A and B are shown apart, each in its own frame.
Chain A
Amino acid sequence: MVENSFQKICRLEDVRHHFKDKQSILFGGFGGIGTPPGLINVILESGIKDLTLIGNDTGFPDIGIGKLVTRRRAKKVIVSHIGSNPNAGLLMNNGELEVEFCPQGTLVERIRAGGMGLGGILTDIGMEADIVRKGKQTVKLGKKNYLVESALTADIAIVYAEMADPYGNLLFDKSARNTNPIVAAAGQITIVEVRQIVPLGTLDPENIIVPGAFVDYIIPSKGVDWKWVWEQGIETE
Chain B
Amino acid sequence: MGLGTGDRNRIAKRAAAEISDGMLVNLGIGIPSLVPNHLWDDHKVMFHAENGLVGIGSTPETGKEDAHLCNAGGLPITIRAGASYCDSTVAFGMIRRGRVDITILGALQVSQAGDLANWIVPGKRVPGMGGAMELAAKAKKVIVLMEHNDKAGMSKLVKTCTLPLTAPKCVHMIITELGVFSVTSEGLLLTDVFDTSSIEEIRNRTEASFTVSENIHKLKE
Binding-face segment, A39-47, A81-89, A149-157, A212-220? A81-89
Nearest Cβ distance between residue A210 and chain B, in whole angstroms?
Answer: 10
Binding-face segment, A9-17, A124-132, A135-143, A198-206? A124-132
Binding-face segment, B13-21, B65-73, B140-148, B187-195? B65-73
Q: For the side of the interface on B, what is the size category?
A: 35 or more
Residues of A within 8 A of B67 (CB): 33, 176, 224, 228
Residues of A within 8 A of B166 (CB): 129
Across the interface, name the chain A residue whose C-beta is closest to B59. Answer: A230
**Is B68 in contact with A182, judged by CB distance below 8 angstroms?**
no
Nearest Cβ distance between residue B114 and chain A, in whole angstroms?
Answer: 13
Binding-face segment, A19-27, A68-76, A99-107? A99-107
**Is B70 in contact with A33, judged by CB distance below 8 angstroms?**
yes
Contact A105 B75, CB 8 Å, known A56-B88, A182-B87: no
Specify which of B30, B49, B74, B89 is in contact with A112 (CB 8 Å cutoff).
B89
**Is B130 in contact with A80, judged by CB distance below 8 angstroms?**
yes
Specify which of A33, A99, A126, A128 is in contact with B68 (CB 8 Å cutoff).
A33
In the complex, whether A178 has a CB less than 8 A from a CB of chain B is yes
Specify which of A132, A178, A224 is in contact with B51 (CB 8 Å cutoff).
A178
Nearest Cβ distance between residue A220 and chain B, in whole angstroms?
Answer: 17
Specify which of B71, B87, B130 is in contact with A81 (CB 8 Å cutoff).
B130
**Is B51 in contact with A129, judged by CB distance below 8 angstroms?**
no
Across the interface, name the chain B residue whose C-beta is closest to A234. Answer: B74
Number of interface residues of A (CB under 8 A): 53
Residues of B within 8 A of A230 (CB): 65, 75-76
Please indicate which of the listed interface residues A30, A31, A175 has the most CB atoms of chain B within 10 Å of its own CB: A175
**Is B69 in contact with A125, judged by CB distance below 8 angstroms?**
no
**Is B68 in contact with A34, judged by CB distance below 8 angstroms?**
yes
Nearest Cβ distance between residue A7 and chain B, in whole angstroms?
Answer: 28
**Is B128 in contact with A130, judged by CB distance below 8 angstroms?**
no
Specify which of A30, A108, A123 is in contact with B72 (CB 8 Å cutoff).
A30
**Is A236 in contact with B73, judged by CB distance below 8 angstroms?**
yes
Report Cα–Cα, A180/B130, bound state, in Å: 17
Residues of B within 8 A of A99 (CB): 128
**Is A128 in contact with B167, judged by CB distance below 8 angstroms?**
yes
Nearest Cβ distance between residue A153 and chain B, in whole angstroms?
Answer: 16
Contact A179 B128, CB 8 Å, known A129-B164, A130-B164: no
Residues of B within 8 A of A166 (CB): none
In the complex, whether B86 has a CB less than 8 A from a CB of chain A is yes
Within 8 A of A (CB), among B40-71: 49-53, 65-71
Residues of A within 8 A of B127 (CB): 81-83, 89
Within 8 A of A (CB), among B66-112: 66-76, 85-89, 91-93, 95-96
Report Cα–Cα, A112/B89, bound state, in Å: 8
In the complex, whether A181 has a CB less than 8 A from a CB of chain B is yes
Across the interface, name the chain B residue whose C-beta is closest to A109. Answer: B89
In the complex, whether A177 has a CB less than 8 A from a CB of chain B is yes
Residues of A within 8 A of B133 (CB): 103, 125-126, 129, 132
Residues of A within 8 A of B (CB): 30-34, 56-57, 60, 79-84, 89, 92, 99, 101, 103-106, 108-109, 112, 123-126, 128-132, 162, 172-182, 209, 224, 228-230, 236-237
14 pairs across A/B with beta carbons < 8 Å?
A30-B72, A33-B67, A56-B51, A101-B128, A105-B131, A108-B88, A125-B134, A129-B129, A129-B167, A173-B68, A175-B85, A177-B85, A228-B65, A236-B74
